[in-house]
Amino acid sequence: MNSSLPASAHNHWVITLVCADQPGIVHAVSGAIVSAHGNITESQQFSSADTGRFFIRLQVESPTDRATLQAALAPVIARYDMHSTIDIVGRPLRTLVLASTAGHCVNDLLFRQRAGQLAVDIPLVLSNHGTLRDLVGFYSVPFESLPITDAASKTAFESRVIEAVDEHDIELVVLARYMQILSPELCARLEGRAINIHHSFLPGFKGANPYRQAHARGVKLIGATAHFVTSDLDEGPIIEQNVVRVDHSRSANELVAIGQDEESRTLSQAVKWFAENRVLQDGVRTIIFK
């Protein structure tokens, strides 16, 4: 993807490395970077007391190409048995958006993408309804709708998801108020690269129509949580959360409108961090290198 860059260009690389914590890692990594004539411009690390894992995210300016940088790091990655990623800073992430009828999250993502605030390429928005066709079309993004009415059509929809993931070499699937539960198979297949958004309340509410429950209970704060999709519904590792204050005078419908704003900005924030390789997983927790 950087084949068009001249070999002599000063590239800006983002590197993430994860391994068992032990002394000497930073020295080994920074030595490899020095050997590739790189300069570390940003570095964040974290040692998890819970899992004993070490996490580091680096941004490195280096005149080398990817192969050279990779070769320099390879012995370190091998020695420490690291999980690693190397990418170019700012490269747009290939992202598939799933939606249903609500447009607030989709619009927020597409507008930020176009405004240059969100480094994603969105080759397709796939919905189980046709409602958002015009909105998506305005941003010149391809849109498909496939109705889900029964188990067979749901399977067909998910097959199309898998096909689109392969076809477009998708790196992230965003559930932008896609109101169907993913099958366990699809959850497993997309593990660590699918982000969902849902409303959040203090205290939490189970079951249907949570905004109505929140209204009935008189909550003073409503919010949203963006998290990785797992087969354990709404319980995946949390990426970002926001809340906003409400009072007794708000109707359940107003709570919905307020909650949608929080959902939009929370989801876009989570996608932005993910696209910038700032989200790492530590068991059921996330490390966010903001």
Residues annotated as catalytic (active site), given as ranges: 234
Q: Which stretch binds a second copy (CB under 8 A): 63-71, 148-156, 161-169, 211-219?
A: 211-219
Tell whether residue 30 is a contact of a second copy (CB under 8 A): yes
Q: Of these, 145, 171, 237, 259, which contacts a second copy (CB under 8 A)?
A: 237
Tell whether residue 249 is a contact of a second copy (CB under 8 A): yes
Tell whether residue 216 is a contact of a second copy (CB under 8 A): yes
As a whole number of angstroms, the distance between CA 195 and CA 173 comes to 6
Residue 153 CB, nearest distance to a second copy (Å)? 28
Residue 5 CB, nearest distance to a second copy (Å)? 20
Task: Tell me how far apart the 2 most distant CA atoms of the chain are, in Å.
Answer: 64
Give how far the C-alpha of residue 190 lies from the chain's centroid of Cα atoms, to the nearest Å. 12
Q: Of these, 75, 130, 184, 204, which contacts a second copy (CB under 8 A)?
A: 204
Q: Which stretch binds a second copy (CB under 8 A): 1-9, 30-38, 141-149, 156-164?
A: 30-38
Tell whether residue 45 is a contact of a second copy (CB under 8 A): yes
As a whole number of angstroms, the distance between CA 139 and CA 115 comes to 11
Q: Of these, 11, 12, 31, 231, which contacts a second copy (CB under 8 A)?
A: 31
Tell whether residue 238 is a contact of a second copy (CB under 8 A): yes
Nearer to a second copy, 2 or 47 (CB): 47
Residue 187 CB, nearest distance to a second copy (Å)? 18
Tell whether residue 218 is a contact of a second copy (CB under 8 A): yes
Q: Of these, 113, 171, 223, 273, which contacts a second copy (CB under 8 A)?
A: 223
Nearer to a second copy, 50 or 169 (CB): 50
Nearer to a second copy, 58 or 165 (CB): 58
Render the chain in DSSP notation, one character per residue: --TTS-TTS-EEEEEEEEEE--TTHHHHHHHHHHHTT-EEEEEEEEE-TTT-EEEEEEEEEESS-HHHHHHHHHHHHHHTT-EEEEEETTPPEEEEEEE-S--HHHHHHHHHHHTTSS-EEEEEEEESSSTTHHHHHHTT--EEE----SHHHHHHHHHHHHHHHHHTT-SEEEESS--SPPPHHHHHHTTTSEEEEEEEESS---SS-HHHHHHHHT-SEEEEEEEE--SSTT-SPEEEEEEEE--TT--HHHHHHHHHHHHHHHHHHHHHHHHTT-EEEETTEEEE--
Q: Of these, 11, 12, 46, 192, which contacts a second copy (CB under 8 A)?
A: 46
As a whole number of angstroms, the distance between CA 62 and CA 39 comes to 6
Residue 10 CB, nearest distance to a second copy (Å)? 12
List of residues contacting a second copy (CB under 8 A) = 21-27, 30-31, 33-34, 37-47, 49-50, 103-104, 107, 111, 115, 117, 134, 138, 200-204, 215-221, 223, 225, 234-235, 237-243, 247-249, 251, 257, 260-261, 265, 282, 284-288, 290
